[in-house]
Structure 1
């Protein structure tokens, strides 16, 4: 009985040297273990590196005509696509200054000629393993980063924040949103429809939150919790303004999403309500030594949640504190004080009103429809690089109509 097994792909190594004998020697030494490519000059090496299958490691001679190894190294490190490829210099230069110069340019190692085959094989294997481990850790960190707010992820990896139980009291602006009557509205929907619309909605809203600098705290069912003021802050007033502008952008995007969903054949839709409050909260890492959660707590957080529950579908409700910070730039109507759970006294609230100018500037979905014609443009999904070509196509369509 035989079994079919696929051997693991060999790591690809590029050897760059202007001496044919050296290329032959290095190829013979490495080809049993690795896939070897060779280049006789720096220009040829750079061309090969930018191919569809770049090497996993480069063995680079320094003394070459026209373009020496140092210049090749500079160009590799100057290009984000090739900057991460490990490079080992192979050279007859033996001074400490030359070796230090090459390492300062970004080389991972330095092997002098005449080469020792065991040394070359050992160092190539070591650096390939290191490079593989580095890629694995980077991919893992990026996956783990999706479970954290971008600001928290960045602060952990740049060392400005420690993974320890610690909180502080700060004045934050807190945002809550949820989908009006989500459970009742989706009771008869298919699970696939709920998953698609909800994930689509969360993705779009998260992107807007990131654009405005909000810290995405958590998803709770169909609800979102976002706050401004930690770990990054623009100041209490500007944080509040950014939060309200974010909420307005989210509501505009919801109107556009409903158009897009209908165009995709879905007759399902929903409306979102939002509440915003500003006040002192405890913010930081809560939990245990086993698991922590970076979040916020306090009565001001609860008030934001209560305002959201009292908001009209498609509306944004502000507390008096938040409105006082943004009133110079945001138009809102004061409502009758409302009684909310957990607060003894009625709470003042202000309903945000869209400004016509802002609405037209921010519009990103355009739809025209009449008998025999349907045009839909979503600027968020149309890459900037393709908009000129799209404009040409629209003009061509217009010419055909004449």
Structure 2
């Protein structure tokens, strides 16, 4: 008379389907009770009520045909929903349950609304409606059951007495209780299986997240984010975009590598890359690669703030790196590294080809083009601590950053000499109001960035400077 209470394969929820698939692959999982078995159970329970009523002459003799129909209908319904065009119907389970409600309502009206058998059948119907389709299914099922019962009562009439014999009442109660208990047991087992499947999915999800974070160490955060959010496909494809390209290396690193042990040199280099990477990410740069002591970074892909802002962010990053390098050099000196390490940088802005290069089974997200060669050339021409930029970069940032004309250079791939400029500093930091001060001599180094100093730190710094000044005066006297 009704479907099995739970079958997540028909709920339409992607998460539930995935959970159920894992649950079915799990040998501990309990499969849901099929519609076929649930309907057989419900109609067998109803058949026992009919048999008890016939044996006590509660129902008319012709209702023996309803007993036969109750035993046959589950098989007919199974064939209709599995072997005919109905198998393609959407929400077939809910629709078949409404048919069961109509049949059940007709039976209740046919027996003249005898109380206990009617309530037993009604409970089984409403129990199934609530589990399978929720409140919506329960409302429609109730209305259809009431309507079918009313039509049957109008045709057949009410029973002489609403009371049923004891045996029929007991059979009705036991049949309904058995159906509810069995379906509830399967629902409970299926819920346990689903929870186990969800736990497995959660564990797999956590493992996938941990693995993705490990893999992200080999990709720029912007590239990793665009891949894992689905914004970018992992396939061989490129595009032309206007980017700001940055190159840097360490002047004096070759000499230092001859003086230091490989382990200490590796530690120093990793510390340098880590510090510079944090600066690059702060300004939104896409870190392309590390080669030896060189770093290649570009701005404008996969995310861009506009050509002007990308160029400004790139040059601002270079200025910050130069300041940060001075602080790091002082730390290295305190660790016994006396070789003066200086960073030199080159920046160009223009159209490049950016995307995935390589083979289908091994790709590299990078850029190529003459602007890349120009940035590399500028970096090689720069003096220690110097930032050289191309004319196009200069034209985009000249209103915010002070630059000095350095003449022209000849670069392969460019038909004419290329004007280049040296980055001095932010215009806001020029003159007496500048926030960054530096003094470096043998035995003395000071790097002051007043914009980054808190009130508490300011008092400590002033005290340290006063102590240093008093000591120098005493030694002079």
Q: TM-score range by the shorter chain?
A: 0.5 to 0.7
Q: Distance in 2 between matches of 1:356 and 1:343?
A: 31
SS at match of 1:309: helix
| CA displacement at 1:137 relative to structure 2 | 0.4
> Contact conserved, 2:437 with 2:447, CA < 8 A, in 1?
no
> Contact conserved, 2:438 with 2:447, CA < 8 A, in 1?
yes
Q: Distance in 1 between matches of 2:350 and 2:312?
A: 14
SS at match of 2:399: coil
Q: Distance in 1 between matches of 2:330 and 2:434?
A: 18
Indicate whether 1:133 and 2:199 are aligned.
Answer: no
Match of 1:302 in 2: 373
| CA displacement at 1:251 relative to structure 2 | 0.5
> Contact conserved, 1:249 with 1:362, CA < 8 A, in 2?
no
| CA displacement at 1:185 relative to structure 2 | 3.2
> Contact conserved, 1:175 with 1:276, CA < 8 A, in 2?
yes
**Greater strand share, structure number:** 1
Match of 1:186 in 2: 257
Q: TM-score scaled to structure 2, two decimals? A: 0.53
Q: Distance in 2 between matches of 1:376 and 1:331?
A: 20
Q: 1:196 to 1:122 in 2, by over 3 A?
A: same
Q: 1:263 to 1:153 in 2, by over 3 A?
A: same
Q: After the TM superposition, which residues 1-400 of structure 1 pair with which residues of structure 2 at under 5 Å, given as runs?
A: 96=134, 118-119=189-190, 121-340=192-411, 343=414, 345-355=416-426, 357-358=428-429
Q: Distance in 2 between matches of 1:97 and 1:392?
A: 68
| CA displacement at 1:124 relative to structure 2 | 4.0
Q: Relative CO higher for 1 or 2, CA cutoff 8 Å, sep ≥ 6?
A: 2
Gaps spanning 5+ residues in structure 2: where? 1-129, 137-182, 468-477
The CA RMSD over aligned residues, in Å, is 4.1
| CA displacement at 1:347 relative to structure 2 | 2.4
Q: Distance in 2 between matches of 1:136 and 1:364?
A: 48
**Which range moves more in the overlay, 331-340 or 199-208?**
331-340
> Contact conserved, 2:406 with 2:422, CA < 8 A, in 1?
yes
Q: TM-score scaled to structure 1, two decimals? A: 0.62
> Contact conserved, 2:410 with 2:417, CA < 8 A, in 1?
yes
| CA displacement at 1:263 relative to structure 2 | 3.5
> Contact conserved, 1:366 with 1:378, CA < 8 A, in 2?
no
> Contact conserved, 2:400 with 2:427, CA < 8 A, in 1?
no
> Contact conserved, 1:256 with 1:365, CA < 8 A, in 2?
no
Q: 1:144 to 1:171 in 2, by over 3 A?
A: same
> Contact conserved, 2:327 with 2:447, CA < 8 A, in 1?
no
Q: Residues 306-338 of structure 1: CA distance to partner in whole angstroms, max 9, x if unpaired?
A: 011111111100111111111111111111322
Q: 1:96 to 1:376 in 2, by over 3 A?
A: farther
SS at match of 1:162: coil
Match of 1:42 in 2: none
> Contact conserved, 2:401 with 2:427, CA < 8 A, in 1?
no
Q: Which has the larger radius of gyration?
A: 2
| CA displacement at 1:126 relative to structure 2 | 2.3
Number of positions where the alignment pairs a residue of Structure 1 with one of Structure 2: 290
SS at match of 2:212: helix
Match of 1:73 in 2: none
**Greater helix share, structure number:** 2
Gaps spanning 5+ residues in structure 1: where? 1-92, 99-111
Q: 1:292 to 1:264 in 2, by over 3 A?
A: same
Q: 1:97 to 1:358 in 2, by over 3 A?
A: farther
Q: Residues 241-267 of structure 1: CA distance to partner in whole angstroms, max 9, x if unpaired?
A: 111111101101101111222344543
| CA displacement at 1:181 relative to structure 2 | 4.0
| CA displacement at 1:268 relative to structure 2 | 4.6
Q: 1:115 to 1:375 in 2, by over 3 A?
A: farther
Q: Residues 148-180 of structure 1: CA distance to partner in whole angstroms, max 9, x if unpaired?
A: 111111111111111111111111111111112
Q: 1:304 to 1:390 in 2, by over 3 A?
A: closer
> Contact conserved, 2:216 with 2:224, CA < 8 A, in 1?
yes
> Contact conserved, 2:252 with 2:340, CA < 8 A, in 1?
no
